[in-house]
Amino acid sequence: MFTLLIVIALLVALGGGAAGVVAYTNNEKRRRGLSSGDAPKALLGEVLRERGLKELKVGDVVTIDNKDFVCEGTIEYDEDGHKWVGARLVDGAKVQWCVVGLERVGNQQVRLLEHDTTTDIAGYPPEALVIGEVRFALDKRGNATAKLNGDLGNLLGGKQGLPAAHVERCRWWLYSAAGDDTVVLEQWGADYRVLRGKKVSGDTIDLIPGS
């Protein structure tokens, strides 16, 4: 009887040890799994980078002079790896274009522009434009691939039913005047459009991401 009790005690001890080994092994596997490529991408305490104006997307809300504009469409330009964005911002009947990052060097310029339908361009754009009493001198020009997203108003004749991220080619000219006055001229197919406005500080514009 005494011998039987000793045997039972040894079996219990061995069983507990085996269970401990199994538990340790399972815990170790879980720990290693968390450090593997299958681990969740977002970890506790990770800081997420906020999107800036150069990453405007359809559905974002932009606050300018205490007025909220909805981004209804964007044009993503790419010229040999240099990228910038033009966003169509709408508040009721008010429409503005926010062009960000057109320059290759220097500070990221933000331009708030309106479509100037009164200035006609006939033939190849000149070295200088005179609009009203302001003279604009040609600063830069180039060619870009443009990815079109959302509602872009009358661009391309207001074509409807374009596929998502439709791609077109665009020629562009950047004009500057004294102070913050600026003009961006674009050619889409045979049509030109003149965007006229001001250079502004991006710090004066608030972005509320739509997603």
What pLDDT tens digit does each residue of the chain (211 aa) get? Answer: 444 444 444 444 444 444 444 443 444 433 343 333 443 443 444 444 578 899 999 999 999 999 999 999 999 999 999 999 999 999 999 999 999 999 887 667 899 999 999 999 988 999 999 999 999 999 999 999 999 999 999 898 766 666 777 899 999 999 999 999 999 999 999 999 999 999 999 889 999 998 6
- Quote the radius of gyration of the chain (alpha carbons, Å): 30
DSSP 8-33: HHHHHHHHHHHHHHHHHHHHHHHHHH
Q: The pTM is what?
A: 0.74
User: Which residue bears the tokens 């910038």?
Assistant: 84
pLDDT at position 49:
52
Q: Enumerate the domain spans of the chain.
A: 1-48, 54-208
What is the dihedral sign for C-alpha 90, 49, 211, 145?
positive
